[in-house]
Amino acid sequence: MRTTITLYSILMLVVHTNLYGESSAERKRLTDVSWEQGLNARKVPLLEVIPPEGGRNRRLEVLREVLAKGSDPRIQISNPGRLSVRDHSSVLFAKDNSWYLEVMGDGSRFRYHGNIEGPAKQGTVEASRKLDLATLERLGREFITKRLFQLIPPIEGERLLFLGSRYLRDGSATESTPFTSEVKANMAVFGREVRGVFVAGPGSKITVWFSNDGEPVAFFADWPQYRVSDQTQATLDISDIKNRLKNYADKPFELIQRNLKHFECGYVDLGVFRRSMGLIQTGCLAVHSGQIQEFEYGAIEAIPIGVTVVSDAQWPVTRSVASHSRWNACSISSVACKEPQPAAGGPPAEQKNRAPRSHGVHDDLGEPITFRMLALLYHLVCNF
């Protein structure tokens, strides 16, 4: 009996937690500089979030207009069908379910998913061959510039950064043969820099999907408009940043340092459902994964790094840092309290017994992410 494993839903979960398949040189440099310097104790202006004019409904109209003008065979909106409107999102489906277009929150997050298995140019490229980083960056920049410029226009003082790639694989195995897989889609991931400061977190991210023959098949963006405010925030030096990480991270500092995959300091935008306060402040994100006891784990720590921190109800750890108090993750997520702790022989008991915290990093619908599951998905999909 042959069992086929399709990883589409797995990849979507991994995509929203900023776990990458292959990092660009710029993203690697960002981790190195952030770990050594933070933001160099700079004082930076905070960012104000400007909601899209006309909200979600107008953004959906603009997207339909933009997509109707294109010539890409796998990104089009012919044959539109049912429109589903919910509290969190509006979704337009094709009548034959070959594509869908979704706009979320206030309209600043949106995605289009076309027919990845479509017939366009089938058989012209080796099925399992993935696109390299240079090709993905070039194709991604071209698509954003030509097709999404009305929604993601170039803005003075901002820079589009290529962060790396992800790959969607389709795999199978039998009782007598090992698991094998082939690449079905290649994803170019981009982020943003404002006045030389990187924007970490789920916000200010664009992912463009391409088939193996280089045709765009889907895109996802969480891209708000920012305004530089008159309010400034002094940031900690790197030694104080690491001390704060020790005091407020979910996992012990030694574990984070040993298993660190990415460390990014700058502004922190937690995405459309976590920026209703309208103000973006500074912080660092630490992505780490490895093993705790018999479990493979993965975690994202989001730590504010302002000398004075703005208390934000949607970024729970900021309230504790701002009030110089310890906080209890169980009041935020009962799931987090059930995460495994480091084994004996690890950090001191007072650290081992601390309940894990979600730090306000959530999925699309605002639910805390279960990082233990994410680690397994990360190793399945992203390690090549």
Domain count, the chain: 2
| 232 and 216 in a common domain | no
Which residue has better confidence, 198 or 97? 198
Nearest in space to 16 (alpha carbons), one of 361, 373, 381, 382: 361
| 144 and 91 in a common domain | yes
| 350 and 248 in a common domain | yes
Q: What is the pLDDT, as a whole number, of residue 373?
A: 36
| 251 and 169 in a common domain | no
Which of 176, 202, 224 represents a domain boundary (last residue)?
224
Say if residue 83's pLDDT is above 90: yes
Which of 202, 224, 246 represents a domain boundary (last residue)?
224
Q: CB neighbours of 266 closer than 8 A, spacing ≥ 6?
A: 34, 39, 193, 197, 198, 199, 200, 282, 283, 284
**Residues forming beta bridges with residue 263, ordered by sequence position:** 286
| 317 and 193 in a common domain | no
pLDDT in tens, 85-95: 999 999 999 99
CA distances from 2 to 9, 170, 173 (A): 20, 14, 6
**233: pLDDT confidence band, cut at 50, 70 and 90?**
very high
| 373 and 307 in a common domain | yes
| 255 and 374 in a common domain | yes
Percent of the chain with pLDDT over 90: 61
Say if residue 18's pLDDT is above 70: no
Say if residue 349's pLDDT is above 90: no
SS3 for 77?
Answer: coil
Rounded Cα distance, 37 and 32, in Å: 8
Say if residue 333's pLDDT is above 80: no
pLDDT in tens, 30-75: 999 999 999 999 999 999 999 999 999 999 999 999 999 878 888 8
Say if residue 117's pLDDT is above 80: no
Rounded Cα distance, 4 and 17, in Å: 25
Q: Is 66 within a domain?
A: yes
Rounded Cα distance, 377 and 297, in Å: 10
Say if residue 122's pLDDT is above 50: no
For residues 169-175, average pLDDT:
65
The whole domain housing 240 covers 23-50+228-381
| 296 and 211 in a common domain | no
Q: What is the pLDDT, as a whole number, of residue 181?
A: 65
| 97 and 45 in a common domain | no
Q: Is 256 within a domain?
A: yes
Rounded Cα distance, 315 and 299, in Å: 16
| 185 and 102 in a common domain | yes
Q: Is 302 within a domain?
A: yes
Nearest in space to 51 (alpha carbons), one of 230, 281, 224: 224
Rounded Cα distance, 101 and 210, in Å: 17
| 212 and 239 in a common domain | no
Rounded Cα distance, 234 and 237, in Å: 10
Which of 204, 224, 244 represents a domain boundary (last residue)?
224
Half-sphere CA count of 207, side-chain side, radius 13 A = 29
* CATH, residue 73: 3.30.310.160
| 349 and 253 in a common domain | yes
